[in-house]
Amino acid sequence: MTQHRITRTTPKARTFMPTTDDARVSEAIAKAEAKTSGEIVAVVASESDSYAYAPFLWAALAALLAAWPLIYFTWISVQWIYAIQIAVFAALSVLLSTRPLRYRLVPRAVLTERAHARAVEQFLVQNLHTTVGRTGVLIFVSVAERYAEILADAGIHQKVPEDAWQGIIDEMTAHIGAGRTTDGFVTAIERVGQHLAEHFPPGSAPINALANHLIVLN
């Protein structure tokens, strides 16, 4: 597993990765897989979690804290303090529910954990764990979390060290950060394909057993 934080993104997968660029990604995967028995799957998700709880959690905390100065420094009745707390909670719940603010309320460690969990889920959902020789590779990006990761199956780990993917993910995220998302995916696919071709040349394993197109999760 190699992961990296992306420094520049857009909120939706289809804005992040336009439909018109799908053909380039599909072509890159097809060319890479023609030289190897391994399988490459590319997935981009708009988000790995809705984090719907975050606005309510912070709004509740703010409402609780709002009562203390009113209790100690004013003569406002308990009924009015309670009403103010409800108003604070309601207002902040609505304000903080907007997408950009909602993601900012969640700690980076939580965002990373959820995005990694989604990557593992997609590795299984896309059947990469079923490839002959365990030679599947997932290139995964979760837009809201600004997160990118490469997951390689057990057969690849026996021949390719995990840190070999770091340069690929760094180059990919540099392209994405500069607004060249498709270039980032194509470059990553080509470089992953080179590793697979070196260690897993075409053989008895079925070629193109999995989807070659970019998989978009909105």
Render 87-100 in DSSP notation, one character per residue: HHHHHHHHHTTSHH
Q: In this structure, what token pair is assigned to residue 131?
A: 């490839």
| Each residue's pLDDT tens digit, 12-22 | 555 677 787 88
| Each residue's pLDDT tens digit, 153-187 | 988 988 888 788 889 999 999 999 888 999 999 99
Taking the CA atoms of the chain, what radius of gyration do you get in angstroms? 23
3-state SS track over 153-217: CHHHHCCCCHHHHHHHHHHHHHHHHCCCHHHHHHHHHHHHHHHHHHHCCCCCCCCCCCCCCCEEE
pLDDT exceeds cutoff 60 at 9: no
The single-letter code of the amino acid at 22 is D
- The ranges assigned to domains in the chain are 2-49+108-217, 53-104
Instruction: Name the region of 127 (left: φ>0; alpha: ψ -120 to 50; beta: rest).
Output: left
> pLDDT at position 205, please?
54
The domain 2-49+108-217 is placed in CATH, from the list 1.10.760.10, 1.20.1740.10, 2.30.30.60, 3.10.310.50, at: 3.10.310.50
